[in-house]
């Protein structure tokens, strides 16, 4: 009985294998129009309605599986898009930074060609800004090795920034023109009358050009530049013609006239500046030495006391 | 299927035939259209192997031949090629049941994976032997490995499905057979507890 079962099983296997090989050989040996190919085509024709029906019936299943696959694919695409967006945003920020620096360097280059011939400009990057809202001091990465000295003027492409007040080997501190200790000899662009530019107390975005002679012609929008002259003991440390700002309003105060000046340089957004250094013995160096010899404490006087201080300093100088 | 046939063997064969035909259409209509890891799962070797594992070598071999023929006819492939491979798989799985009767929980996974690998490698070898002008490339090996992995993932669900569909029609239900084997070893005999 067992042998019979084994023989039947083996015979069945042999039959199926032989049948498969016969089909294989016959199918492989005949042309495309042969009998087996014809049977195959007929079978396909016969079952095609079933296949169509099955396809339609199974379409929801296929769609559901596709939905999962496409959802996963979409998630992958979304993650890739987020990564690309982050990369583009970083590149945009870098581009904007480079563009701003380039703009400032170009402006400095143009400035150098105009009116700072006696100086040796040293480009520096602002590495630290005063954290308070007045932004009255900044630290730059150029120091004594680059020839930077105390009282050297600091400019950028937009105009006057301030002056160096402390120098170290690896950097220097710069007081901005809005700092309370600053005073800059200046004149209105179309006039020869000079005055002193001080920060306006309580408003870091505004300057005050004081002690202009009465009836000095001044109108809104006129430019205010450094005078570069030694009119009083308040000798300007700065080369002439450096833009400080533009007139926003004119005030008459007794025998003097004062004008409000909006700084030309955006002091809240400083990246690259230029220190106007000078060799010892040159005219700028002499002016700097003279300035350093002046009495300390040139803090901006109040509206009423400023004239007195100036008069006092002036009388000392004259005496 | 219109009532219960008198011969249980016929009932089993009818059930296997209906299930195999449905699965082939499902394979062609759905599974072949949904790539996983860049390849498509092939349920036919799993079906044949599990039928052989549940029904024995003879039914396994016949199922393999019929499913292979159906696949070749439907997909306009070389007639006899898939039949030959699936016949061997069905017979091999059936003999495994008759000789070893694997009862481990992971046995269907191992057998299904083996069937898929044999199917993929065998099909490639046969195509090469028939003179298909294609190089043995890394892409081909990748397809074989990934196809085997995908079929291995589908093996256990497929096993549960085949067993459920054929349950009740099997000549010797594995659960009953397992109970009798345990009983005869004495391990679970009520007499041994006494």
Which letter, b or e, does each residue of A260-275 get, where b requires 16 or more Cβ atoms within 10 Å of its Cβ?
A: bbebbbebeebebbbb
Asked whether residue A299 carries a pLDDT value surpassing 60, the answer given is no
Give the best residue of B48, B52, B58 to mutate against chain A (max A CB count within 10 A): B58
> How confident is the model over B88-109, as pLDDT tens digits?
999 999 999 888 878 788 889 9
In this predicted structure, the answer to whether residue A304 has a pLDDT above a threshold of 50 is no
Quote the ipTM score: 0.79
Q: Which of A24, A60, A73 is the best substitution to test chain B (most B C-beta atoms within 10 A)?
A: A24
Closest CA of chain B from A13, distance in Å = 7
Residue numbers in B near A41 (CB within 8 A): 76
Per residue in A112-136, pLDDT tens? 655 566 778 888 988 887 756 555 7
Q: CB A65 to CB B25 under 8 A?
A: no
Contact A44 B58 (CB under 8 A): no
Query: CB distance from B136 to chain A under 8 Å?
Result: no
Two tokens at A162? 């301030």
- Greatest Cα pair distance, chain B, in angstroms, is 71
Q: Taking CB atoms and an 8 Å limit, are B29 and A22 in contact across chains?
A: no
Closest partner residue to A24 (CB to CB) among B25, B64, B81 is B81
CA distance A26 to B61: 21
Instruction: List pLDDT tens digits, range B132-174.
Output: 666 667 778 888 899 999 999 999 999 999 999 988 777 665 5
Q: Is B132 on the interface with A (CB under 8 A)?
A: no
Question: A12 and B58: CB-CB below 8 Å?
Answer: yes
Instruction: Report CB contact under 8 Å: A65, B30.
Output: yes
Is A99 strand, coil or helix?
helix
How does pLDDT run across A181-199, given as a tens digit for each residue? Answer: 788 888 887 777 788 888 8
Which residues are bridge partners to A166 per DSSP? Answer: A173
User: Which has the minimum average pLDDT: A7-11, A35-39, A220-224, A265-269?
Assistant: A265-269
pLDDT at B82: 92
The A-side interface with B (CB below 8 A) comprises 8-9, 12-13, 16-17, 19-28, 36, 39-41, 43-44, 47, 50-51, 54-55, 58, 61-62, 65-66, 69
Mean pLDDT for chain A? 78
CB-CB neighbors (< 8 A) of B69 in chain A: 23
B79 contacts chain A (CB < 8 A): yes
Residues of A in contact with B84 (CB under 8 A): 17, 20-21, 24
**Beta carbons within 8 Å of B43's beta carbon, 6+ residues apart:** B23, B26, B27, B31, B151, B154, B158
Q: How confident is the model at residue B193 (pLDDT cuts 50, 70, 90)?
A: very low
pLDDT above 70 covers a percentage of chain A that reads: 79
- List pLDDT tens digits, range B14-55: 889 999 988 988 888 778 777 777 788 889 999 999 999 998
**Closest CA–CA distance from residue B31 to any residue of chain A (Å):** 8
Q: Is residue B8 scored above 60 in pLDDT? A: yes
Using the predicted structure, report yes or no on whether residue A298 has a pLDDT greater than 50: no
pLDDT at B187: 44
Q: Does B87 touch chain A (CB under 8 A)?
A: yes
List the single residue in A36, A44, A65 with the smallest CB-CB distance to B34.
Answer: A65
From first CA to last CA, the distance across chain A in angstroms is 143
**Which residue, chain included where needed, has tokens 């992971």?**
B106
Higher-scoring residue by pLDDT: A246, A286: A246
- Nearest-neighbour CA in chain B from A86: distance (Å): 29
């Amino acid at each position: 009985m067992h042998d019979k079962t084994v023989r039947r099983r083996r015979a069945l296997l042999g039959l199926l294998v032989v049948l498969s090989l016969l089909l294989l050989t016959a199918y492989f040996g005949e042309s495309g129009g042969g009998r087996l190919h014809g049977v195959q085509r007929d079978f396909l024709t016969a079952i095609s309605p079933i296949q169509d029906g099955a396809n339609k019936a199974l379409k929801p299943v296929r769609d559901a599986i596709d939905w999962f696959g496409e959802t996963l694919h979409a998630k992958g695409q979304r993650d890739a898009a987020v990564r690309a967006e982050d990369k583009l945003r970083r590149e945009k920020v870098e581009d904007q930074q480079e563009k701003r620096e380039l703009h400032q360097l170009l402006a400095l280059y143009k400035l150098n060609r105009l009116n700072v011939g006696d100086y040796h400009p040293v480009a520096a990057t602002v590495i630290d800004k005063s954290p308070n809202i007045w932004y009255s001091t900044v630290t730059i990465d150029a120091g004594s090795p680059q020839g930077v000295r105390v009282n050297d003027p600091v400019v950028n492409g937009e105009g006057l920034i301030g002056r160096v007040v402390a120098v170290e080997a690896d950097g220097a501190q710069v007081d901005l023109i809005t700092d309370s200790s600053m005073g800059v000899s200046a004149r209105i662009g179309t006039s020869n009358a000079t005055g002193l530019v001080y920060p306006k107390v309580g408003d870091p975005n505004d300057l005050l050009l004081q002690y202009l002679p009465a009836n000095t012609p001044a109108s809104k929008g006129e430019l205010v530049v450094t005078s570069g002259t030694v009119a009083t003991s308040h000798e300007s440390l700065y080369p002439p013609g450096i833009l400080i700002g533009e007139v926003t309003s004119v005030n008459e105060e007794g025998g003097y006239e004062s004008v409000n000046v909006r700084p030309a340089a955006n002091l809240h957004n400083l990246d690259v500046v230029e220190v106007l250094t000078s060799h010892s013995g040159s005219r700028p160096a002499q002016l700097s030495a003279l300035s350093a010899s002046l009495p300390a404490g040139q803090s901006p006087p109040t509206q009423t006391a400023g004239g007195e201080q100036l008069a006092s300093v002036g009388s000392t100088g004259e005496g | 299927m219109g009532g219960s046939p008198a011969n249980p063997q016929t009932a089993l064969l009818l059930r296997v035939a209906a299930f195999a035909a449905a699965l082939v259409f499902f394979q062609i209509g759905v599974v072949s259209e949904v790539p996983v890891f860049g390849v498509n799962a092939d349920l036919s070797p799993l079906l044949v192997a599990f039928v052989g594992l549940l029904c024995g070598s003879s039914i396994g071999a016949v199922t393999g031949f019929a499913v292979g023929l159906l696949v070749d006819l439907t997909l306009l492939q070389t007639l006899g090629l898939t039949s030959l491979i699936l016949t061997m798989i069905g017979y091999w799985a059936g003999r495994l049941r008759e000789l070893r009767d694997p009862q481990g929980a992971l046995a269907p996974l191992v057998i299904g994976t083996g069937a898929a690998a044999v199917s993929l490698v065998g099909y490639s070898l046969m195509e090469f032997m028939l003179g298909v002008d294609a190089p043995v490339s890394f892409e081909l090996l990748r397809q074989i490995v990934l196809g085997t992995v995908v079929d291995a993932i589908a093996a256990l669900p497929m096993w549960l499905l085949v067993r459920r569909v054929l349950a009740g029609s099997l000549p010797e239900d594995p659960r009953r057979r397992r109970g009798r084997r345990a009983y005869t070893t004495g391990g679970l005999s009520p007499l041994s507890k006494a």
